[in-house]
């Protein structure tokens, strides 16, 4: 199945999942949008399809889920939305045009949603990690990782648990006055 057909089926499956939650009286207090695919290429070699695929998956996936969970959060006058971006949204990277653009769009979505949803007791924030040891970064060579580590003040790559801790911080009731923020989980990399 090509991804265009798949991307337009996502809203239906998301809505069906949310309808099932409502039917079972399950309340969603926290939404973490962690959509992320990459398809790297230098800009002059990147196909229109590569650009669209990454941007539509990363940005539209975040939009579809957020839009469909908002009625529940607005009704309960409470919610925490945490979007996962990337350091590439702020500082760019080689052959990362589509990925960086998609994550920058998510950071902008955070800003707009925080303003729109604040009056409903809903906070919206972004966690922007640096290079993390995940399935998506398996193609990064050890030599590239070592070079990256040398740029990081703490001299280690970010771990998934570091990102999880940042998400837990934003999800906590004690963070109710924190909204419209982007926190870099990157070991101090600028």
pLDDT tens sequence across 19-35: 888 888 888 999 999 98
> Structure pTM?
0.89
Dist. CA 60–CA 133, nearest whole Å:
25
In the structure, what pLDDT confidence band is assigned to residue 179 with cuts at 50, 70 and 90? very high
In the structure, what pLDDT confidence band is assigned to residue 102 with cuts at 50, 70 and 90? very high
Q: Could you tell me if residue 190 is inside a domain?
A: no
CB 124 within 8 A of CB 107: no
Q: Given the residues 4, 64, 78, 99, select the one marked as catalytic.
A: 99
Please indicate whether residue 64 is annotated as part of the active site: no
Give the CATH number of the domain where residue 26 resides: 3.40.50.720
Total domain count, the chain = 1
Q: Could you tell me if residue 67 is inside a domain?
A: yes
**Residue 128 domain boundaries:** 3-185
């Amino acid at each position: 199945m090509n991804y265009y057909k798949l991307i337009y089926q996502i809203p239906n499956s998301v809505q069906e999942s949310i309808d099932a939650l409502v039917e079972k009286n399950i309340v969603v207090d926290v939404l973490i949008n962690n959509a992320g695919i990459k398809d790297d290429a230098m800009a002059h070699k990147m196909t229109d399809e590569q650009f669209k695929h990454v941007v539509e998956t990363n940005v539209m996936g975040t939009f579809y889920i957020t839009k469909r969970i908002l009625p529940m959060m607005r009704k309960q006058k409470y919610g925490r939305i945490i979007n996962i971006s990337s350091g590439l949204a702020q500082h760019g990277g080689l052959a990362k045009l589509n990925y960086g653009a998609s994550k920058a769009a998510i950071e902008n979505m955070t800003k707009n949603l925080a303003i729109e949803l604040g009056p409903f007791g809903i906070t919206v924030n972004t966690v922007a990690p640096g290079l993390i040891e995940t399935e998506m970064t398996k193609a990064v060579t050890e030599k590239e990782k070592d070079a990256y580590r040398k740029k990081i003040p703490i001299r280690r790559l970010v771990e998934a648990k570091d990102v999880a801790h940042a998400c837990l911080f934003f999800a906590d009731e004690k963070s109710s006055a924190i909204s419209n923020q982007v926190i870099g989980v990157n070991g101090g990399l600028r």
